[in-house]
Amino acid sequence: MYEQVSHSLLNEILDELRPEIRRQNLRHFYTRLGANFYAIHSLFYHLYGHRDDFKEKMIALVEVMANRYIERSDELERLDMAREQDHNWFLSQEWIGMALYADGFAGDLKGVKKRIPYLQDLGINMVHIMPMLVCPQGASDGGYAVSNFRKIDPRIGKLEELEALADYMRKRGMLLTLDVVVNHTSDEHEWAEKAREGEEKYQNYYYIFHDRDVPDMFEETMPEIFPETSPGNFTWDEVMGKWVMTVFNSNQWDLNYSNPRVFIEMVDVILFWANRGVDIVRLDAVAFLWKKVGTICQNEREAHLILQMMKDCCQVTAPGVLFIAEAIVAPSEITKYFGEDAIIAKECEIAYNATFMALLWDAIATKNCNLLNQGILNLPSKLDRATWLNYIRCHDDIGLGFDDSDIERAGYEPFAHRHFLLEYLTGKYEDSDARGQPFGRNEKTGDARISGSLASLVGLEAALEHGDEEATERAIKRILLLHGMIFSFGGIPLLYYGDEIGTLNDCSFLEDENRANDNRWMHRPKIDWNKAERRLHRGTIEQKIFDGLKKQISVRKTIPAFADFNNREQLTVDNEHLFVFLRSHPEGTNGAVLVVANFDDRPQYLDLAILGNRGQFQFSQPQDLVSGEKPSMFKEQLVIPPFRFYWLTDQSALGFV
Ligand code: GLC
């Protein structure tokens, strides 16, 4: 967009750039800067225009983008251009992700590289390696308390090893995802240390107060994230003699984005990792980026503007790099992290689908799909060129963040229903075989979330303890059912390491004083590779899960209707145990797939006739794409066995799938 004020400022800035920058061949950089500058300038002005140093900081930002562009390798630049041409590349059904801790999965980065064939065998082609940067030796919030944004923890590896891994993966068509923890640093970060030593410049990088006046005002409306272990949102720093805002743990200092230096530093960090060969940057805790007295300090409009600016800046230097928004917020807020518009106000291309995740757990606990159907019906539609990250488990707890009105519409009372879910998933409910633990219990509000591994939550641990083979099979079916949902819903499925072999809760964290008070460690396993080897032996639990998932993944990759072009139609059926939706071919041709899932422990029936004729889909001779079977019919009704799902195609349309 051409606008005179920003354009003439851009010209001035380009004249003022350091000579060594001007001497470079910056053709692509200039065209992208020209295209994005109006947006960057307007947003930067909106947030920082009142400051005397506005222009100086605007120049500094352009220099960061230019310097990182100059440093970007030819290979990565070629990839940028290829992705610009094929801008919907990430919406394809071919992407399948897995999140893992490098040390838990394979010891260190070298180990991860050695295990890439294992991931490829399963069909994984996107790997999110959890934080591995230098962090406090004691408690470090699983690496999310970062002490140096550019240095890998020597126990995990070296920067060159990471680059070699990125390269190795790129050659194999795999994507690398890494975190940039944009909301806070650890209290051992150089900026925090300088702030502590009294340097005002760095005290302004954080929210620091000499008395409780402002902190008390904030506390009136801010919720607590870790109420049991880190109550309140401020921590007294003895050395400084001041209060610091610490929304998460007391050693995680919140960054102050009302200071443009912080924004520029963090753009530099994002581009640093983009240049190491990272394809997707997971932006941690993005809902928290802007703090305002009198609010909950989440989802503020300015947080969105910061993300839009980050995206615009990244598009100038490294347009092939995508962002994932980690915003575990109310369903009505989540979709906002894609941005307001796919072109002029874009934020993150990908967002965690925490709503779907929690709804799936509701369906497991209740054995019905009342809330699942309701919640998905009310999930706001998302932008084009945006996609979900669909997951069942991750390194965090399960939050029951449903919309209260959805719970009511599903026929429950919100408080009682959440209480039931908590009791169910933690195995307190008499009919439950789940083995989760409550996490983050807040005595004031009665809220709690749930920790636990997928296998333990769906009953595998209890089944093995009781030597109950039927219950073991049930648990395996539930694991496959849940994955069948994230593979077909629309978006990138993100598996969690260990789930592919049925890893149970690991309570060894209790022996480590730095972890003992955070039970999320029960589902951050150290992979037992002897157990993983059992996947090679027919009939073992590991083999049934691993091969089951492998099959689903390979089938998913061949189904164009599973690409995410907002081509999902949810169908209302008269059986509350079923979750049913139709995925149509993005080009509107043959090849629709009807997904039918039964969350109950008894067989259920679906009258296909009530679905009518949908396009090419006649529902006359349905065939399941995963098993190749023709499902049983009884009196013209489709029979769906307990905890089973189908990806149905109409046989007459088979040739087009
Ligand atoms: C994100 C991470 C979580 C961490 C928090 C604070 O939510 O997923 O593990 O505790 O950010 O960094």
Alpha helices in 86-152 (DSSP H): 102-106, 109-114, 116-122
284, 362, 461, 576: the catalytic one is 284
Q: How far apart are CA 347 and CA 222, in angstroms?
A: 25
Please tell me the predicted confidence (pLDDT) of residue 171: 97
Nearest CA to 141 among 232, 223, 229, 233?
229
pLDDT of 600 strictly over 70: yes
Annotation says 190 is catalytic = no
Please tell me the predicted confidence (pLDDT) of residue 24: 85
Q: What is the largest CA-CA distance in the chain?
A: 80
pLDDT of 344 strictly over 90: no
Atom 8, ligand 1: which residue's CA is nearest?
Answer: 396
Nearest CA to 207 among 225, 222, 192?
192
pLDDT tens readout for residues 441-469: 988 888 899 999 999 999 999 999 999 99
pLDDT of 615 strictly over 80: no
Q: Which residues contact 648 (CB under 8 A, 6 or more apart)?
A: 593, 594, 595, 596, 619, 622, 623, 624, 625, 631
Distances (CA, A) of 485 to 91, 356, 557, 562, 642: 17, 10, 14, 11, 15
pLDDT of 389 strictly over 90: yes
What the chain holds in terms of domains, given with CATH numbers, is 92-182+262-556 (3.20.20.80), 184-254 (3.90.400.10), 560-656 (2.60.40.1180)
Annotation says 224 is catalytic = no
Q: Do the Cβ atoms of 228 and 449 come closer than 8 Å?
A: no
Nearest atom of ligand 1 to the alpha carbon of 142 = 9
Q: Tokens standing for 642?
A: 């307990």
Specify the range with the lowest mean pLDDT, choosing from 336-340, 396-400, 609-613: 609-613
Please tell me the predicted confidence (pLDDT) of residue 130: 98
Ligand 1 neighbourhood includes 99 CB (under 6 angstroms) = no
Please tell me the predicted confidence (pLDDT) of residue 617: 58
Nearest CA to 432 among 450, 414, 448?
450
Question: What distance in angstroms lies between residue 142's CA and the mean position of ligand 1's atoms?
Answer: 8
Atom 12, ligand 1: which residue's CA is nearest?
Answer: 144
pLDDT of 390 strictly over 70: yes
Question: What distance in angstroms lies between residue 357's CA and the mean position of ligand 1's atoms?
Answer: 17
Please tell me the predicted confidence (pLDDT) of residue 1: 78
Predicted confidence band at 651 (pLDDT cuts at 50, 70, 90)? low
Q: How far apart are CA 112 and CA 162, in angstroms?
A: 10
Please tell me the predicted confidence (pLDDT) of residue 655: 42
Please tell me the predicted confidence (pLDDT) of residue 321: 98
pLDDT tens readout for residues 227-264: 999 999 999 999 999 999 999 999 999 999 999 999 99
pLDDT of 523 strictly over 80: yes
Q: How far apart are CA 329 and CA 323, in angstroms?
A: 17
Question: What distance in angstroms lies between residue 218's CA and the mean position of ligand 1's atoms?
Answer: 21
Atom 3, ligand 1: which residue's CA is nearest?
Answer: 396
Residue-averaged pLDDT of the chain: 95
Atom 11, ligand 1: which residue's CA is nearest?
Answer: 285
pLDDT of 500 strictly over 50: yes
pLDDT above 90 covers what percent of the chain? 90
80, 254, 279, 326: the catalytic one is 326
Look at 615 and 271; give whichever has higher pLDDT. 271
> First-to-last CA distance in the chain?
41
Distances (CA, A) of 372 to 141, 388, 563, 621: 31, 17, 22, 28
pLDDT of 613 strictly over 70: no
pLDDT of 431 strictly over 50: yes
Please tell me the predicted confidence (pLDDT) of residue 345: 79
Question: What distance in angstroms lies between residue 178's CA and the mean position of ligand 1's atoms?
Answer: 14
Distances (CA, A) of 33 to 18, 68, 202, 279, 306: 17, 13, 29, 21, 17
Q: How far apart are CA 62 and CA 313, in angstroms?
A: 9
pLDDT tens readout for residues 289-321: 999 999 999 999 999 999 999 999 999 999 999
pLDDT tens readout for residues 124-162: 999 999 999 999 999 999 999 999 999 999 999 999 999
Nearest atom of ligand 1 to the alpha carbon of 520 = 9
Q: Tokens standing for 637?
A: 């009704």
Q: How far apart are CA 397 and CA 440, in angstroms?
A: 9
Atom 10, ligand 1: which residue's CA is nearest?
Answer: 141
Q: Are strands 578-583 and 568-570 parallel, antiparallel or unpaired?
A: antiparallel
The helix, strand and coil proportions of the chain, stated in percent and rounded to the nearest 5, come to: 45, 15, 40
pLDDT of 358 strictly over 60: yes
Nearest atom of ligand 1 to the alpha carbon of 181 = 12
Per-residue pLDDT, averaged over 168-181, amounts to 98
